[in-house]
Structures are given as C-alpha cells and as structure tokens.
C-alpha cells in the first residue's frame, strides 16, 4: 500500500506526520492475504499501465 511518496511533492516531514497518523488511525491493522504484487510502469507523467504481476505463492 502506498500512502505517499516524496517525488509527488510531499516533504520528509509530511511523510513522517502521515506515518504517525496512519499508525494511529489505521490501528489495529487488519490482516490481509496478499497473493501477488502488481508493478506499474509510468508511460507519461501521472499515467500508469500494469507492467507485471508477481505471484507470492
């Protein structure tokens, strides 16, 4: 799960604050079964296509 990235305009301080808020607001964390990781390729600014699914079984 991506909450934010510095290359999209967020500062390190904003990311730290987001982390603290996520820990508080999202706890207790639900258990999720993850069967694959999906990788996207940026084909132009802010436009992505599915590149690859990596199975985790």
Written as tens digits, the pLDDT of the chain (57 aa) is: 665 566 667 788 988 898 899 889 888 888 889 999 988 898 998 899 999 999 998
| pTM for this predicted structure | 0.52
CA distance 52 to 39: 5
Task: Report the C-alpha gap between 56 and 32 in whole angstroms.
Answer: 13
Res 22: pLDDT: 86
């Amino acid at each position: 799960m991506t909450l934010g990235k510095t290359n999209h305009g967020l500062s390190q301080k904003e990311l730290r604050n987001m982390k603290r808020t996520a820990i508080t607001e999202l706890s207790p964390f639900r258990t999720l079964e993850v069967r694959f990781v999906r990788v996207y390729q940026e084909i132009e600014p802010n436009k992505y296509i599915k590149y690859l699914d990596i199975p985790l079984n």
